[in-house]
Structure 1
């Protein structure tokens, strides 16, 4: 019987809550799960590894996670006040958004990031090129305060280390016995669908190619398995050639025009760990341990 699923406490575009079972089924056992693109953390919350390395390029997200891990009672208590009726107001929202963009206080910034996530339009996370959070007011009747979900996240995060690094650096931290799951910004369905302003820098085709190369190399040369999710497109099939593919029956509608909405499938690409690496390493170790022939 499937255990109760845990929901992320943040609203997140492209969150993996509905796909957790499919992803879980394809993740091998390991002593640590590494996520270079953790997002709202649905996979982290619904898997059972001893340890986690969770990374995201968005410093506000990682800042919030670190405070929630270290001092959940204080953070949840202080954040609760921002979910009162008087703060669910357009003028107040824009005033607090300005405060968020101006403040250097990391604790206050963490609280405001949660407030903006739940009161802003569609739970989007978007920044201008100057790095200013610019999501408009959401006009929700009564934004939900995710207290229970935050406590669950905090408790589970005692097994996790959070980092804010480029994905390549996170791959370099992986060791044999770990598994890597990647949920990168998805390859665009069309030129107009490109959504790249999630953190104040874009994730274009170069980054998609680099990630695919890194996944292939990490599995083949370093013996560390990698699983990647993305849109099921000719581009992604080409980039992940050599991986084991699983199609997912997710229907994510992309077009803003309801009549033109096309369901788009997703793909999971699994790069299994190469089995030959251990034996090569041992041979090298024997050579290295023989005494030097020099006089």
Structure 2
């Protein structure tokens, strides 16, 4: 059994635990395109000749490009913050305040990893003014992912990282591509709405537009598009015409340990072969 590669970031909705199922569902192709790359677990645990990895989070894409280009310089700078005196509330909030004031890409990328590992639950969240606002996490000894950073940098030599929205990512697709979409999930209920980590959120209208874009792209350009989301009546309706697979997953982002329960996850595959056979 091949050892799975962990991402160096903690991430809400990360796909590490679903990799075995996902790799079975993802078709072969020349390039994997991810319009919502997140922590990159799918990228790290698949073997396509090349990758186009996109996200609207500028800090995330900036970080990935820096780790790709100069991992040793980055590791040296980031590791210096993973010391006991920096694992304190006052130190964390000082870094968070500086992060929200500075524009230097390298410093922001170093602070981003620090806050990801020292902040609450590894969340990545910004306020309406664009300020990072995740509270201190109070962990005994935050882990510094040195090996994971090097592995990411090595694998990323086959990847292009772009800070663009999903529509632009779809527009850059070409014959031979395989697309995997892991959008912010539709809420399980009207009270469980989770605001996405950038900007104003991913609305139900966005969910519908993504579904339509995925379906049309698969049909018009003749390559497969796989989407993951909560398995609820809404998503089954949105992804009509797709082939469905359902898997159980552990929800890892929850304030109460007792609130972490298994929920069904839907994998919807738009495949040109399927459509041509079924009309």
Q: CA deviation at 1:273?
A: 2.4
Deviations 1:207-253 (A, max 9, x none): 10011001110111110210000000000000001100000021437
- Compared CA separation, residues 102 and 149, structure 1 to 2 (3 A): same
Equivalent position of 1:211 in the other structure: 210
Equivalent position of 2:42 in the other structure: 43
Q: Assess if the C-alpha contact under 8 Å between 2:125 and 2:134 holds in 1.
A: yes
1:92 is the counterpart of 2:91:
yes
- Compared CA separation, residues 108 and 210, structure 1 to 2 (3 A): same
Larger of the two Rg values belongs to structure? 1
- Determine helix, strand or coil for the equivalent of 1:265: strand
Structure 1 segments of 4+ aligned residues over 3 angstroms from their partners: 253-263, 274-277
Give the alignment's Cα RMSD to 1 decimal.
1.7
TM-score norm. by structure 2 comes to 0.95
Which ranges of structure 1 fall in alignment gaps of 5 or more residues?
A: 278-295
Equivalent position of 2:8 in the other structure: 9
Equivalent position of 1:109 in the other structure: 108
Which ranges of structure 2 fall in alignment gaps of 5 or more residues?
A: none
Q: Provide the rounded CA distance (Å) in 2 between the counterparts of 1:18 and 1:259.
A: 19
Equivalent position of 1:284 in the other structure: none
Deviations 1:67-98 (A, max 9, x none): 00010010001110000111111001000000
Deviations 1:182-221 (A, max 9, x none): 0000000012211124112210101100110011101111
Aligned residues: 276
Q: Provide the rounded CA distance (Å) in 1 between the counterparts of 2:52 and 2:12.
A: 22
Q: CA deviation at 1:36?
A: 0.2
- Compared CA separation, residues 14 and 259, structure 1 to 2 (3 A): closer
Q: Assess if the C-alpha contact under 8 Å between 1:242 and 1:271 holds in 2.
A: yes
Q: Assess if the C-alpha contact under 8 Å between 1:125 and 1:198 holds in 2.
A: yes
Q: Provide the rounded CA distance (Å) in 1 between the counterparts of 2:5 and 2:37.
A: 15
Q: Provide the rounded CA distance (Å) in 2 between the counterparts of 1:237 and 1:129.
A: 31
Q: Provide the rounded CA distance (Å) in 1 between the counterparts of 2:272 and 2:210.
A: 16
Equivalent position of 1:26 in the other structure: 25
Q: Provide the rounded CA distance (Å) in 2 between the counterparts of 1:260 and 1:145.
A: 28
Equivalent position of 1:193 in the other structure: 192
- Determine helix, strand or coil for the equivalent of 2:160: strand
